[in-house]
Amino acid sequence: MPELPEVEIVKRSLKNNVKYKKIKKVIISNRNLRFKIQKKFENTLKGRLILSVERFSKYIILTLSNNKYCLIHLGMSGTLHLVRYDKKGTFTNLSFYHSKTLPKKHNHIKIKFSKFMIVYNDPRRFGFFKIFNNQKTLKDYFSRSGPEATSNKFNYKYLKSKLINKEKNIKNFLLDQNYVSGIGNIYANEILFYCKINPQKKCKKINKNQTIKLVKNSKFVLNLAIKLGGSSIRDFKNISGKSGLFQNEFKVYGRENKNCITENCKGKISKIFISNRSTFFCNLCQK
């Protein structure tokens, strides 16, 4: 599943191409995504300018010239492809998984512009598109979401207040979007390694120094991943044909039984499952 850094890269690629462009036509081949596409979807988008392309957590938000909003979530396997009418055989993938060119199957939505179209492909159909009629209903949709890990709202004071007396383990806490938005499984593993915290440790046992490190390293890891273009753990190519590079920086993820990279640590990377998610950590230096 694309995480915050990957969705940020998708957002930037999309923004560079569709901002201030007018939508000519919308074609839907399959309305049955995670949530059924609304009946008004095509007419809401048709003829509208896209005024902005933003991101919150793992969601992309299109602001339309009719003061409505289109929310996009890529789910487990969703990808966005930019297909230019006058070019063939070029990279189309704005996303991070599966084919770098437009697949032949599972193309559910086509949003057509004058010189290109955006195609949404999703074999597993866990992603969705949703229209919001105004800013209030959009904000209400995110009202239960925690602050983004990269934002100023995710700070020591906030995190301390949420960790107090919680029995939940710290790995599951970081993945819980009600407390902090945007951290997925890969980055939770990496953040906890930088903090030297065992992923099974209960939140209520996280001390002041560890809380400070969690705030600092959450921002560091996610911003580094964005800078490096995300993690290409499968066959990713972005719109210019470049791979994400953060997978080259993994300290624990996917490194089961390998030596810990921490200086003077003789530990090895262990792999366990927490809530059915692969969890990697050093068996010595993460406590």
Residues taking part in catalysis: 2-3, 58, 277
Task: Return contacts of 28-33, CB within 8 angstroms, 24+ apart.
Answer: 28/108, 28/109, 28/110, 29/107, 29/108, 29/109, 29/110, 30/108, 30/125, 32/125, 33/75, 33/108, 33/122, 33/125, 33/126, 33/127, 33/128, 33/129
H or E, element range at 150: none
H or E, element range at 271: strand 269-274
Cα 83 from Cα 116, distance rounded (Å): 5
| Residue pair 120/127 in contact by the 8 Å Cβ criterion | yes
Cα–Cα–Cα angle for 248, 212, 151, rounded to 5 degrees: 70
> How far are the Cα atoms of 25, 31, 121, 194 from residue 36, in angstroms, in the given order?
19, 5, 15, 41
Cα four-point dihedral sign 65, 68, 71, 72: negative
**Tokens read off for 255:** 């490194």
**Tokens read off for 276:** 């059915």
| Residue pair 274/200 in contact by the 8 Å Cβ criterion | yes
Cα 254 from Cα 134, distance rounded (Å): 42
> Order of strands, edge to edge, in the sheet holding 107-112?
25-28, 107-112, 116-121, 79-84
